[in-house]
Amino acid sequence: MGEREVPVWVAALADAAVLVVFVAIGRRSHHEDAGSAGFLRVLWPFAVGLVIGWIAAGLHRAPMAFRRAAAAWAITVLVGVALRIVVQGHDFAPTFIVIASVFIGGCMLGWRGVVVAVSRRRARRAVS
C-alpha cells in the first residue's frame, strides 16, 4: 500500500488512537483511575479538536499530506486545550500544552512519516 493509498478511515483511526494513547499515558502517569467516565472526560476535548482539525485542514481529502496533518495537529491541540479551560474549568498550564503538543504532533506526523518511509523503500526495491 503506497503512501497515497492509505484509506481515510485508517488515517482517522490512527489519529484517534494517538489521542487514546495520549490520554491513557497521562492518566496512568498521574495515577488517575476514574474508570471510563474519567477517561472520556479527558479525551473528548481533544477528540472534538481532532474532528475540527481534520475538517478545517481538509485532511479527509489527503490524509497523508504533511502540511494538512500539521494544521490538523495544531487545531487539535488548540481546540482541546481551549475546551479544557473554558468548558471544564482547568487552569492554563503551559507545561501540559507543551507535552500535549509534542506528543500529539510527534505521533500524528510520526506514523505518517513511517508510512511514507516504508512506502518509498518498497518502491525503490520494486524498481531494483
Give the number of domains in the chain.
Answer: 1
d(CA 34, CA 36): 7
In sequence order, what E strands does 30-84 have?
none
Q: Is the pLDDT of residue 64 over 70?
A: yes
| Residue 59 per-residue DSSP state | T
Q: Give φ, ψ of 40 to 5 degrees.
A: -65, -30
Asked whether residue 126 carries a pLDDT value surpassing 90, the answer given is no
pLDDT of residue 108: 98
Comparing C-alpha atoms, which of 11, 20, 22, 9 is closest to residue 116?
11
Percent of the chain clearing pLDDT 70 (strictly above): 93
pLDDT in tens, 24-63: 998 887 666 667 888 899 999 999 999 999 999 999 999 9
Its pTM surpasses 0.85: yes
Residue 41 lies in domain: 3-127
Q: Count the alpha carbons within 13 Å of 36 in the hemisphere toward its beta carbon.
A: 0
